[in-house]
Amino acid sequence: MEYTNLGRTGLQVSRLCLGTMNFGPQTSEQDSFAIMDRAVEHGINFFDTANVYGGEGNRGRTETIIGNWLAQGGGRRDRVVLATKVYGEMGQWPNHSGLSALHIIRECEHSLRRLQTDHIDLYQMHHIKRDTPWEEIWQAMETLVAQGKVIYVGSSNFAGWHITQANEIAKKRNFLGLVSEQSLYNLDARTVELEVVPACLEYGLGIIPWSPLAGGLLGGALQKIEEGRRSSESTRWQVEQKREKLEAYERLCAEMGEAPASVALGWLLQQPAVTAPIIGPRTIEQLDQSLDALDVDFAEDTLYRLDEIFPGPGGPAPEAYAW
């Protein structure tokens, strides 16, 4: 396994991050345990979850599964950089969602209980909350850091100017601020290259791409459908909308002798500021296959052809659309 620093911090994390959103809704607790054990065997030390994961009506279930796995001992907690999130609706009453100081501190306590740990290594805001002052948010986060319940703070689904605003205010408070941003980023979704990537580079945030396979589209979806494998109606519709691109992509992957999923993950690992794409395996086999991405060799011509198939916005703003 390869390791890198998370953004500007001294924290070392694996170049693949284990996403756990399937734990509970699609993967049983026993199978989730097996996947986490195998991830550690492979050297993956970066696990990502969220308080809302677990499925409709069962939010918190995923954190509970992870907590039960950690409770088995054997040095599991010391081997894992544990990341979770706060923001989503955890109840129907007021103050059961968002980024108020009350919600942040209360949900941190709930996550700690479910995860059966005394601290969260990376506590991420799951979304921007525009009507909550940054002074309130940072006061809550500073309290949790001072108490030793949170080590680092990250964001998810922030715009570039949100990252700037957050870290400039944190700087005035002599607080470390955001160290990571978890964004939608893959070959077919490159909008973050306009302003989020430049902001992360400027402020030293590590980018943690979610949906690196575009919901499976970049994992050989076209070939799987043509082979008669089961797929959702939504996947089949998206494949038809992007058939020409996917045909060219899967043809290029075949020429490279690599699985499409490996190429998609490997491409992200080549991008500036990217720390670790989030892989969300439902099975051990999917987890094992994802490690091939670390060994994909990208020639300049290959990267050029990928840009032709999946053109980005044209670089950072404003040059992407002006001069």
Query: What is the rounded distance in angstroms from the CA atom of residue 219 to the CA atom of residue 61?
Result: 27
Cβ contact 199:164 at 8 Å: yes
The string of DSSP codes covering 111-146 is HHHHHT-S-EEEEEESS--TTS-HHHHHHHHHHHHH
In one-letter notation, the amino acid at residue 257 is G
Q: Give the three-class secondary structure for 261.
A: helix
Residue 185 structure tokens: 């980023």
Is-contact 226 259, C-beta < 8 A?
no
Phi, psi of 23 (to 5 degrees): -70, 115
DSSP symbols for 52-109: T-S-TT-TTHHHHHHHHHHTT-TTHHHH-EEEEEE-S--SSSTTSSSS-HHHHHHHHH
Task: Specify whether the CB–CB gap between 34 and 84 falls below 8 A.
Answer: no
53: annotated active-site residue:
yes
Q: Are 265 and 212 in contact (CB under 8 A)?
A: yes
Q: Catalytic: which of 53, 87, 152, 249?
A: 53
Catalytic machinery residues: 53
